[in-house]
Structure 1
């Protein structure tokens, strides 16, 4: 009997171990599913904004009549519009935090909360389909177990059949049914690409009708967007004087000590700042970031003299002008570093990760390999930008402080960032020319992933170098820069079979007969690679065809028929 009892205990323990193994396997698979759905990490973005929010500000929104009606109703939409920089994103952050704190702990059944922060730099990532999938991931993550409808989509994708947006929406509705109430918060709808925005709104309103979710949406006041919210509850977002004063008082310890010592000067600063800002929170933060770096009373008084009027774009323009003038007035090395950072943040085709940005800023044109010792202290570089750049080390996000800063820098590129496209193009081409990439394409996915981890700028540079080279050429910049293999952008594009980029470079009058270190022209490379369409383009542009083709055929053992 003891033997039988012992065997029984062993079987029981084995079953417990098996259950634990299965539980851990399920948890790991759940994490993989959520990662597959998520894409953009909106939780980290939310954490970044939360840290920038001054304690005690924004509370008025949750006490408003419109908010309470939205909160208590079903299938309600609260549309919050406002001018650029009015504080819409901070209000969204405030509402998310309030819902997380108040609603999740109430005895009202399970509450689902999901949020999206649109950004003009993420157009390629924030498609309607990707955003719906992200919302699905956020709501699924809050459940105790992964719904079968979501798991089925994951398994379908693993088999090579990508789910359609209708399937994501169907799964979103089924997941929403697990909650007593669902709140979806969408910030900066105006920064979503117009085409994707139309589809997203159609789908999210259909989901709201079926699933009963409450929507909270912020946007600039744009007629095309407003038309979708005619029947919604509405609030106009504007910086309340009480909030602006709280922000200013909270910032006083970081400002020049003389402001604490001279109450009359401090009051003058607050009064004039409030008047100039006219309810625009961004202008107050820009003003105070600028003041933070002043050291004398006369410098502060000079700022007060330059106040523009209110209610026009000149307010933003003057604020950014003052900051850029201050940046330019630094030591030339600090100014150069600040300008490089601003160039990448302004000119990149998409939002860069901090690792991509660090590598981008470390590139030394003309070198054949990357040196980690060239990676700069990003926090230090951000300090050279006097508030134009926001950096949160915990959430690992670096960005321009507001999209109006992007607009200003693009409109005034010739003054402040004249070599932006050239610098980015040269950095991309240099990065791709490093010895480590001379081995050619990766044989396996694991090898490719390893290359990306070790060389984080590789993906961006390989996908966008041509765009920046072309933009630099259109701007009249030098497009004959050579890498260590003697390749110009035209030779690079030809060797890689990039027909579109060859067309753009030829249109920009790139030199056709330039030779690489092997003595081969673009036509020779196109012939060797078998790129018939590129050969025709080069011949039509006047490349020396007969000699080049014969020389290449002789050198490579290929026939002239390859180019016919």
Structure 2
């Protein structure tokens, strides 16, 4: 800029805006609008700074003064935002020797007026800068159009599906041991698959050999190969047994469509038309329409690569896996599509790929040796001073693991507790006896034995640590979907009978990982806390009655206690949704109640007249145009929604005519959601039937 105003001032504000926006990463949804508006502010600041038309003309003193005032105003609102956040900042804190490195967003409870004030101040600055640029630059109209187009694009893509596999890809590739997986990339089968159009490569493997990490290596390799070729499309799916309810055929098709559409220079018309037809009315297109749009977008590429990891973890009950395979094969017949899939050796899945190129995934011995060598520093310090022992550890574990990274990881973890060379050598001898076991059945037995050992270590801890580990494992195992660290921290902090959470009960993340003896990990990108492998989930599903037989009952009591907190009966909507566990409880309560024995806490909750804030999904009006964003209902309404017949049979002296915020009774809800047995029960208990209302609902 040549108008006498320091370029450093502008750059400093742009840098500050970028820092503030990063600090909103992982924030609850109600704060994301602030983050989006900061992004818009950054765009207009950058546009003004880069505008040659402004730099090359002589500005008047008044224009210079105005620009200085605008810059100062931007600086003030951004500084105020940072101050508001910093009051709740725990970055850099350290507990139990482990840095948390996470912002405690659950403690950030701005009220709605404060949020509106910040948004208003940011918007005002944007408008002032836009007005200034309009006066000085002929390029403003194009810039604004580009900004609006970018915003529209983001809205449409988010409408397609909120599912984002990019975070998982980032997390998985970060877990890759450097220089491993090269054998696969250099294999004749893979190179032929990449170089030849319309090819399918099926990659089966036993549990623990690193199929998912290898899938991430493939995705990373393809993006690296074709980064400069806009004619090549790449899309990928990571199937997950914990997300089956959100990985229907329509969900997967929408995700493929979103990934391929967002990598086009401009949003394809096929996607825009879907949004025009359904997005503004709050409705959803059929899978047939989504599939048609997907094929249209695929045809805009010269080539498309589709990678699907863990087909065996797709839904079995509704045939999602087989539908996905046949759907991609159908697309492959019409378009230049390459398909790579990984799976365990499941007969039905294997049969689907009969006649196609198959390459079994099996960690090479060199890869396992490198993995052990890179992690050997985690073992007791005396190992480093004994080169011969170090070599023996690498050789013995790589032989015993027999191509399974998971086994190598478990063997290494078990050696960490060996405090003397003699104890470590004894463990190595035990590992050596397991070398050469080639069948999947034998390896699963070894894994189960390792999990048994881990549980023995957990039960050998002090009572408080043992109890904490059992509660963590029971929540992760029994949850209806993956939980974030904040959600499980709040779940663990709930005390039945309290009126609110005591924040002193919030458990440190590092401690959570420590007490679980290596069975739990955290995906850094998504902040999801999970079991280290799906075989651990399968192990706990088989042994739950031994380790945590009352898990469902305990979770049910926590959910009911959480909804009974005072802030849910009359709090401001933004404050309610800022409570991390609320969304999970409101969507999953019924599932846990049905899975647990009848308990007094649930019966008392159902009789409570206090209203509960519920999301729009509970208000399925016949016309989506009249669906509210939220509302209030009683626990009795929610029980009808979840069809909790057993619980309602056992309550007495409750008001069956209580109304929700839309004026509907529990009976109306039972009718609306087709709970026929519930309707009969409520009528038998004396609920009044309003015939006109009944016909309107039906």
TM bucket (normalised to shorter chain) is: 0.7 to 0.9
1:17-56 aligned at under 5 Å gives the runs 17-56=140-179
Equivalent residue, structure 2, for 1:265: 389
Q: Distance in 2 between matches of 1:181 and 1:486?
A: 57
| CA displacement 1:259-299 (0-9 Å, x = unmatched) | 22223333333333234322222111122233335433344
Question: Does structure 2 retain, via aligned residues, the 8 Å contact 1:276–1:315?
Answer: no
Question: Does structure 2 retain, via aligned residues, the 8 Å contact 1:39–1:130?
Answer: no
After TM superposition, the structure 1 stretch with the greater mean CA deviation from structure 2, 351-360 or 525-534, is: 525-534
| Alpha-carbon distance, 1:12 to partner | 9.3
Q: Distance in 2 between matches of 1:406 and 1:167?
A: 36
| 1:526 corresponds to which of 631, 653, 656 | 656
Question: Does structure 2 retain, via aligned residues, the 8 Å contact 1:494–1:525?
Answer: no
Question: Does structure 1 retain, via aligned residues, the 8 Å contact 2:169–2:216?
Answer: yes
1:169-184 aligned at under 5 Å gives the runs 169-184=291-306
| CA displacement 1:497-542 (0-9 Å, x = unmatched) | 5276432447xxx8x3xxxxxxxx53533365765665853898xx
Q: Distance in 2 between matches of 1:242 and 1:79?
A: 23
1:448-527 aligned at under 5 Å gives the runs 450=574, 453-473=577-597, 479-481=599-601, 494=636, 496-498=638-640, 501-505=643-647, 512=650, 521-526=651-656
After TM superposition, the structure 1 stretch with the greater mean CA deviation from structure 2, 60-69 or 330-339, is: 330-339
Question: Does structure 1 retain, via aligned residues, the 8 Å contact 2:203–2:342?
Answer: yes
Residue 273 (structure 2) pairs with residue 152 (structure 1): yes
Question: Does structure 1 retain, via aligned residues, the 8 Å contact 2:557–2:602?
Answer: no
Q: Distance in 1 between matches of 2:364 and 2:187?
A: 13
| Alpha-carbon distance, 1:175 to partner | 2.0
Aligned residues: 513
Q: Distance in 1 between matches of 2:348 and 2:150?
A: 44
| 1:119 corresponds to which of 210, 234, 240 | 240
Report the aligned-residue RMSD.
3.2
Provide the secondary structure at the position in 1 that maps to 2:308.
strand
Question: Does structure 2 retain, via aligned residues, the 8 Å contact 1:66–1:235?
Answer: yes
Question: Does structure 2 retain, via aligned residues, the 8 Å contact 1:121–1:350?
Answer: yes
Q: Per the alignment, do residues 211 and 359 of structure 1 end up closer, same or farther by CA in structure 2, a change over 3 Å counting?
A: farther
Question: Does structure 2 retain, via aligned residues, the 8 Å contact 1:495–1:526?
Answer: no
| Alpha-carbon distance, 1:305 to partner | 5.4
Q: Per the alignment, do residues 72 and 342 of structure 1 end up closer, same or farther by CA in structure 2, a change over 3 Å counting?
A: same
| Alpha-carbon distance, 1:81 to partner | 0.3
Question: Does structure 1 retain, via aligned residues, the 8 Å contact 2:568–2:576?
Answer: no
Equivalent residue, structure 2, for 1:163: 285
Equivalent residue, structure 1, for 2:509: 378
Structure 2 gap ranges (5+) = 1-58, 60-132, 609-633, 660-664, 668-676, 692-698
Q: Per the alignment, do residues 559 and 398 of structure 1 end up closer, same or farther by CA in structure 2, a change over 3 Å counting?
A: closer
Q: Distance in 2 between matches of 1:297 and 1:487?
A: 63
Equivalent residue, structure 1, for 2:450: 319
Q: Per the alignment, do residues 262 and 415 of structure 1 end up closer, same or farther by CA in structure 2, a change over 3 Å counting?
A: farther
Residue 310 (structure 2) pairs with residue 188 (structure 1): yes
Provide the secondary structure at the position in 2 that maps to 1:114.
strand
| Alpha-carbon distance, 1:463 to partner | 2.3
Residue 218 (structure 2) pairs with residue 95 (structure 1): yes
Q: Distance in 2 between matches of 1:11 and 1:383?
A: 58
| Alpha-carbon distance, 1:115 to partner | 0.9
Q: Distance in 2 between matches of 1:109 and 1:459?
A: 39
Q: Per the alignment, do residues 39 and 559 of structure 1 end up closer, same or farther by CA in structure 2, a change over 3 Å counting?
A: closer
Provide the secondary structure at the position in 2 that maps to 1:237.
coil
| CA displacement 1:467-506 (0-9 Å, x = unmatched) | 2223221xxxx62236986959xxx864645276432447
| 2:330 corresponds to which of 203, 206, 216 | 206
Q: Distance in 1 between matches of 2:418 and 2:585?
A: 38
Q: Distance in 2 between matches of 1:278 and 1:384?
A: 29
| CA displacement 1:100-123 (0-9 Å, x = unmatched) | 222324xx6632111111000001
Q: Distance in 2 between matches of 1:226 and 1:316?
A: 24
| CA displacement 1:45-73 (0-9 Å, x = unmatched) | 01111121110111111111111111111
Q: Per the alignment, do residues 147 and 109 of structure 1 end up closer, same or farther by CA in structure 2, a change over 3 Å counting?
A: closer
Equivalent residue, structure 2, for 1:516: none
Structure 1 gap ranges (5+) = 1-5, 513-520
Q: Per the alignment, do residues 496 and 168 of structure 1 end up closer, same or farther by CA in structure 2, a change over 3 Å counting?
A: closer
Equivalent residue, structure 2, for 1:223: 347
After TM superposition, the structure 1 stretch with the greater mean CA deviation from structure 2, 86-95 or 266-275, is: 266-275
Question: Does structure 1 retain, via aligned residues, the 8 Å contact 2:560–2:605?
Answer: no
| 1:283 corresponds to which of 386, 407, 421 | 407
TM-score, normalised by the number of residues in structure 2: 0.68
1:249-264 aligned at under 5 Å gives the runs 249-264=373-388
| CA displacement 1:177-211 (0-9 Å, x = unmatched) | 33332111110011010222222222222222222
Q: Distance in 1 between matches of 2:278 and 2:343?
A: 34
Equivalent residue, structure 1, for 2:535: 404
Q: Per the alignment, do residues 523 and 96 of structure 1 end up closer, same or farther by CA in structure 2, a change over 3 Å counting?
A: same
| 2:560 corresponds to which of 429, 432, 436 | 429
Q: Distance in 2 between matches of 1:36 and 1:235?
A: 37
Q: Distance in 1 between matches of 2:371 and 2:296?
A: 43
| Alpha-carbon distance, 1:218 to partner | 0.3
| Alpha-carbon distance, 1:251 to partner | 0.5
| CA displacement 1:161-184 (0-9 Å, x = unmatched) | 422222222222222233332111
Question: Does structure 1 retain, via aligned residues, the 8 Å contact 2:605–2:635?
Answer: no
Equivalent residue, structure 2, for 1:515: none
Q: Distance in 2 between matches of 1:225 and 1:11?
A: 60
After TM superposition, the structure 1 stretch with the greater mean CA deviation from structure 2, 300-309 or 286-295, is: 300-309
| CA displacement 1:236-272 (0-9 Å, x = unmatched) | 1112101100100011122222222223333333333
| 1:390 corresponds to which of 504, 518, 521 | 521
Q: Distance in 2 between matches of 1:168 and 1:383?
A: 45
Q: Distance in 1 between matches of 2:378 and 2:642?
A: 52
Q: Per the alignment, do residues 504 and 412 of structure 1 end up closer, same or farther by CA in structure 2, a change over 3 Å counting?
A: same
Equivalent residue, structure 2, for 1:245: 369
Equivalent residue, structure 2, for 1:336: 467
